Chain A
Amino acid sequence: MFPLNLEFYLSLLENPLFRGLAGALGVITVISLAVLILIWAERKFVARLQHRYGPNRAGKYGILQTLADGLKLFLKEDILPEKAEKYAYTLAPILCFSLAMLPFVAVPVERNIVVANLNAGILFILAVASLSIIPVIMAGWSPNNKYNLIGGIRSAALMISYEIPAGLAVIGVLVLSGSLNMIDIVEAQRDGWFILPQFLGFIIFITVSFMESARPPFDLPEAESEIVQGWTTEYSSVKFALLMLGEYTHAVFTSVLIAILYFGGWMGPLFDSPFWLALKTLVIMLFLMWVRASVVRIRIDQMVSFGWKFLIPLSLLNILIAGAIKVF
């Protein structure tokens, strides 16, 4: 019934439906696995920075710890708060997870390996990334808990102050590469990574990605010492696992994006390979972890004024610099 030659299956991939399904499956598997390992790596790395051991019981060096935690979460009782808005409450984790996975379809890992090679890839990515605020607000509002609400409102209020500089910072890259296509952007870095001409843009973008993925020091929406767990306070069991996974995937995605936009994606010494992309992503993730362990949380008014009064003017300046480089 099923033909046994590979070419038949490859030809199936020409069909957009099959291609989409296979791509979705691939993305979810690879990213979930990567996230599992990265969470373990983060815990281990931060633990070493903090003079402790980190997970070391489940599996060799505790590498199965994330899996064990996930399993534990799946076995826990799924609590629905009595006065929660049921549909929004249930939909939020699903949306959060799927919206975190969605932008990966436009990310090329090699010149020819990409699920959807979009002409306006970067625009698609930015658009989907800004969509990810919706599940946060849903999760903040629906459980009828004040901590959730404050967390949700915080992230909605902050979103404006980081989305604009993010878009503006990317314009610098677009000016230099002259294309919206992700593959073209990487290929344009053949002669030199964009981090050199776009250093200012890189600084802005990495700051903004801290904010976007709500990682310390910008983890205001889930500031543990202030509002318990912020917008995820009322969630438990599978839903909490999905939210966590979605959040973390977001951080991974921004690292991948930085690697592609500023560090030449899959290009490396000797040969081009997705391996280089993975390595660069890992290094950026390690940087994020390092920052997490060494700074305290910024306050909300400081963050808003930082976004508006500092990042936006700076990113406008960055566009000027990019234009100047392009012209001269």
Chain B
Amino acid sequence: MSERVLLNLGPQHPSTHGVLRLVVELEGERVVNVTPVIGYLHRGFEKIAENRRYIQITPLTDKLDYVSSMANNMAYVKAVEELLGLEVPERAEYIRVIVLELQRIASHLLALGSIGNDLGMPFTLMMYTFRERETILDLFESLSGARLGYNYITIGGVMDDLPLGFTDFTLSFLRELRQKIEEYEDLVYDNEIFVKRTEGIGVLSPKDAINLGATGPVLRGSGVRRDIRKEDPYSIYHYFDWRIVTGKRGDCLSRISVWINEMKMSADIVEQAIENIPPGLFRAKVSRVVRPPEGEVYSRIESPRGELGFHIIGDGSTHPYRLKIRSPAFCNLSILPHLAKGVFIADLIAILGTLDPVFGEVDR
């Protein structure tokens, strides 16, 4: 038997997407075993939340999955609203859907760009995708004044109405985005080495994907047609005409194709939402001190990375008694040891890239 080498990938490594440490057991170039070591970014979010008022937790959620803060805000706010039994004005729901889907596009653009880096095409794909992501960040800046950590979706609605010209600018951006997505498709699908590097690598069968708790693009990449926006509909997603995007083979390339096609689908949803957005209030009347009744609620949304759930236990006071976050990146990352058995070290990086973990959310 050949000798085995223990290699420490990370926590400081160019392609671990943050502070992940992988203890990799190598046999030559082959990976025998991977043990992810996480927790380097653990901030005790759930403990902090127990000592904060409900309103004060929203800005904290921005820092969970810092590349899709809107989705985190939404997941938390939705849980609190369910606990309160609060009705949200329709305009607010429309604005929420618009920003959530734009956020999904931004997040997938980042994931797509960084997979280029992981596979060894330094910065070409990334600079292209960042060009578009930048526009979305500009849009969000006009909404909330921040480019990262928006704190925009708030209990009862959204913080502020859409600024003047937002819808027109968004529509023209989406038109542009569709053309750019074709460019990315050229760069990904027509690139023979890219396809060779990702096709058939890290195959996750539909059965395993469900059993291992995969959600989001990872699950849909395996061909399982499941999306919480359709299954357990929240907000106003059932108003729009769209379908769930799936991959075929469950390998890295399928997951990448899910990102690309989901971006198109999100663009569709945003266009429909902008077309039909009604006038009205953008925020329901909510008292300054949110004091939900005693009770428990577990509510989930489909964040760009998958199923993002918040379980809140209220004891009738202004602080939550217990707040638990079911983070999609955490669950998707736990699949890595199963996928990375017997692959090459280069494939390990590719698989990690397509699982797309964000460590603010994995470690919480």
Contacts and interface: CB of A to CB of B under 8 A. Distances in A.
Interface residues on B, range: 20 to 34
Interface stretch (B230-238, B306-314, B323-331, B341-349): B341-349
A151 to B, nearest CB: 12
Interface in A120-149: 146-147
A294 B191 contact: yes
A56 interface: no
Interface in A42-59: 49-52
B245 to A, nearest CB: 23
A227 B120 contact: no
A299 interface: yes
Nearest to A227: B345
Interface residues of A, number: 27
B5 A295 contact: no
A146 B7 contact: yes
Interface stretch (B124-132, B139-147, B285-293): B124-132
Contacts, number: 84
A298 interface: yes
A296 B128 contact: no
Interface in A201-241: 216-217, 219, 223-228
Given A51-B128, A299-B197, A300-B29, A225 B191 contact: no
Nearest to B115: A296
A72 interface: no
Given A224-B14, A228-B13, A301 B344 contact: yes
A50 B197 contact: no
A320 interface: no
A296 B114 CA distance: 12
B124 A224 contact: no
Given A50-B127, A227-B345, A295 B191 contact: yes
A300 B13 CA distance: 20
B184 to A, nearest CB: 13
Contact of B14 (A51, A217, A228): A228
A294 B121 contact: yes
Nearest to B131: A51
A297 interface: yes
Contacts of B117: 225
B119 interface: yes
B191 A51 contact: no
Nearest to B192: A295
A216 B123 contact: no
B346 A300 contact: yes
A224 B119 CA distance: 10
Interface in A277-328: 293-302
Contacts of A216: 120-122
Given A52-B127, A299-B344, A219 B7 contact: no
Contacts of B122: 216, 224-225
B236 to A, nearest CB: 36
Contacts of A227: 345
Contacts of B345: 150, 226-227
Given A297-B346, A300-B344, A300-B346, A223 B120 contact: yes
B216 interface: no
Given A51-B131, A216-B120, A296-B191, A226 B346 contact: yes
A51 B116 contact: no
Interface string B1-30: 000010110000111000000000000010
B93 interface: no
B124 to A, nearest CB: 5
B62 interface: no
Contacts of B14: 224-225, 228
Contacts of B90: none
B196 A224 contact: no
Contacts of A224: 14-15, 120, 122
B173 interface: no
A50 B124 contact: yes
Contacts of B5: 146
Contact of B121 (A295, A301, A302): A295
B7 A296 contact: no
B69 to A, nearest CB: 25
B193 A296 contact: yes
A225 B347 CA distance: 11
Contacts of B116: 296
A304 B196 CA distance: 14
4 closest Cβ pairs, A-B complex: A297-B120, A296-B119, A225-B15, A50-B127
16 contacts: A50-B124, A50-B128, A52-B123, A147-B7, A216-B121, A226-B120, A228-B14, A293-B121, A295-B194, A296-B120, A298-B196, A299-B344, A299-B346, A300-B344, A301-B344, A302-B196
Interface of A: 49-52, 146-147, 150, 154, 216-217, 219, 223-228, 293-302
Interface of B: 5, 7-8, 13-15, 29, 116-124, 127-128, 131, 187, 191, 193-194, 196-197, 344-347, 349
